[in-house]
């Protein structure tokens, strides 16, 4: 088993945190994981991206074609859509991405993560909602492990744990088809 993932957005949207949390859960599920983050040189508002490979063997840390791609902004779509696998799933934050992807990928999903975050009660939870949504495409990583990692990542701010667990569940329960 091998899954290649690419997440990208603007600094401050929580793309790297989302990737780290997923990686920690995948490791606890017994998989080999590589995580390659990329940060733009700008102090704020720059590009962030991470490559993640989850497998039961040792793999290259750089993806060749993304099985799952999460895009939070239009520039990320333009920059990385060529790395999308035809048989994979591209997930776009429909609140921020209006462009039509130019890819052979057949499974493109537009999810209003930003709107959902506002409905949950905090616009900063869009990344956690996206993590919950992505969890459905990775059944080999138990949801409970992902939820435990979300809890752990907010251990220093315990008041935020219930909100973020609610956001995770909101993404996981969202049905778009």
Domain 2-173 has CATH 3.40.50.10800: no
Residue 124: predicted pLDDT: 93
Q: What is the pLDDT of residue 85?
A: 96
Map out the domains of the chain as residue ranges: 2-173
Specify the pTM: 0.93
**Cα 137 vs. chain centroid, distance in angstroms?**
11
Quote the CA–CA distance of 79 and 115 in Å, as a whole number.
24
Q: Digits of tens for pLDDT over the chain (177 positions)?
A: 899 999 999 888 889 999 999 999 999 999 999 999 988 766 666 789 999 999 998 777 788 899 999 999 999 999 999 999 999 999 999 999 999 999 999 999 999 999 999 999 999 999 999 999 999 999 999 999 999 999 999 999 999 999 999 999 999 999 876
Query: How confident is the model at residue 177, as a pLDDT?
Result: 64
What is the distance between the alpha carbons of residues 127 and 177, in angstroms, rounded to a whole number?
Answer: 21
Place of tokens 């991470």: 50
The Cα–Cα gap between 94 and 26 comes to: 27
Q: How far is CA 159 from CA 26, 37, 124, 162, 164, in A?
A: 25, 28, 14, 7, 10
The confidence score (pLDDT) of residue 39 equals 81
| pLDDT reported for residue 58 | 78
- Predicted pLDDT of residue 46: 79
Q: E strand or H helix at 172, and its extent?
A: helix 161-173
Gap between the terminal Cα atoms of the chain: 26
């Amino acid at each position: 088993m091998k899954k290649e993932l690419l997440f990208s957005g603007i600094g401050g949207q929580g793309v790297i945190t989302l990737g780290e949390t997923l990686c920690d859960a995948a490791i606890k599920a017994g998989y080999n994981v590589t995580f390659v983050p990329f940060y733009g040189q700008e102090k704020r508002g720059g590009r962030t991206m991470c490559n993640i490979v989850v497998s039961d063997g040792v793999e290259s840390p750089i993806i060749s074609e993304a099985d799952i791609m999460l895009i939070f902004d239009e520039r990320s779509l333009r920059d990385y859509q060529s790395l999308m696998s035809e048989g994979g799933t591209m997930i776009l934050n429909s609140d921020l991405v209006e462009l039509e992807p130019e890819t052979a990928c057949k499974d493109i999903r537009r999810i209003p993560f930003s709107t959902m975050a506002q409905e949950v009660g905090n616009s900063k939870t869009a990344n956690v909602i996206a993590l919950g949504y992505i969890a459905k495409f990775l059944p080999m990583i138990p949801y409970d492990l992902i939820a435990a990692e979300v809890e752990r990542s907010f251990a220093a701010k315990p008041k935020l744990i219930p909100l973020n667990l609610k956001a995770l569940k909101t993404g996981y329960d969202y049905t778009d088809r």
